[in-house]
């Protein structure tokens, strides 16, 4: 895989070598996908309230994303066993990477700014409050107090074409800094209209 743009980071125009991962559900996850764009998301740990907020927004519009020719794949730095109760209802593939091997390969970092950036504080509070009711009622497991891979992970998003070309990249500056669904759809539309762009 070609790398550009700084230590370990990948930029648009790089090529991802073909590989096959296994989702926590057991399904095979080809990267790239021969038939669709892949929106590859790197999130934090199982039960992360900030990640849950974002993934709910993606799940709510999953049919729209799929109709745009995009396959969602989400990576967490937790074990499959820990992830399954937190992600069983998500309509897309979730991949466990407790050793953070994929994070290193894709240049996805951890840093204090993940939680210390003031732009994330409101989302953290909202995410915790939103998850509190279901956790207290036993409908959702509580996140670990000591999650695998720590609490300081930063998100990252990659849009990957069927030929392995990285169409677009976003490395988050804080824990809630990722592409919203409208941006995913806009990037997919732009790629369909002009697949030669870099």
For residue 62, the model assigns a pLDDT of: 97
Residue 143 has pLDDT above 70, yes or no: no
- Superfamily of domain 19-193 in CATH is Glutaredoxin (3.40.30.10)
Residue 56 has pLDDT above 70, yes or no: yes
SS3 category, 113: helix
Show Cβ contacts of residue 131 under 8 Å, excluding neighbours closer than 6 positions. Answer: 47, 49, 52, 140, 143
Residue 1 has pLDDT above 90, yes or no: no
pLDDT exceeding 70 applies to what percent of the chain?
Answer: 87
pLDDT confidence bin for 16, thresholds 50/70/90: very high
Taking residues 127-152, report their average pLDDT.
71
Tokens of 148: 């695998």
For residue 88, the model assigns a pLDDT of: 84
Mean pLDDT of the residues in the chain: 87
For residue 24, the model assigns a pLDDT of: 95
pLDDT in tens, 91-123: 999 999 999 999 999 999 988 888 888 877 777
- pTM confidence score: 0.87
Question: Which one, of 160, 158, 175, lies nearest residue 116 by Cα?
Answer: 175
For residue 193, the model assigns a pLDDT of: 87
Tokens of 91: 């309509």
Question: Which one, of 185, 172, 159, lies nearest residue 37 by Cα?
Answer: 159
pLDDT confidence bin for 4, thresholds 50/70/90: very low
């Amino acid at each position: 895989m070609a790398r550009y743009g700084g230590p370990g980071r990948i930029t648009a125009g790089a090529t991802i070598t073909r590989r096959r991962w296994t989702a926590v559900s057991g399904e095979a996850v080809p990267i790239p996908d021969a038939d669709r764009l892949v929106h590859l998301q790197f999130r934090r740990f199982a039960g992360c309230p900030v990640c849950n907020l974002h993934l709910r927004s993606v799940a709510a519009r999953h049919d729209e994303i799929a109709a745009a020719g995009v396959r969602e794949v989400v990576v967490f730095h937790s074990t499959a066993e820990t992830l399954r109760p937190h992600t069983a209802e998500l309509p897309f593939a979730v991949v466990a990477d407790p050793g953070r091997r994929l994070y290193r390969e894709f240049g996805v970092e951890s840093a204090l700014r993940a939680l210390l950036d003031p732009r994330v504080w409101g989302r953290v509070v909202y995410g915790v409050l939103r998850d509190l009711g279901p956790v207290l009622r036993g409908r959702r497991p509580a996140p670990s107090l000591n999650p695998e891979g720590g609490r300081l992970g930063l998100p990252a998003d990659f849009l990957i074409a069927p030929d392995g070309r990285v169409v677009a990249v976003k490395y988050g500056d804080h824990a809630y800094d990722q592409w919203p669904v409208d941006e995913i759809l806009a990037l997919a539309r732009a790629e369909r209209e002009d697949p030669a762009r870099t």
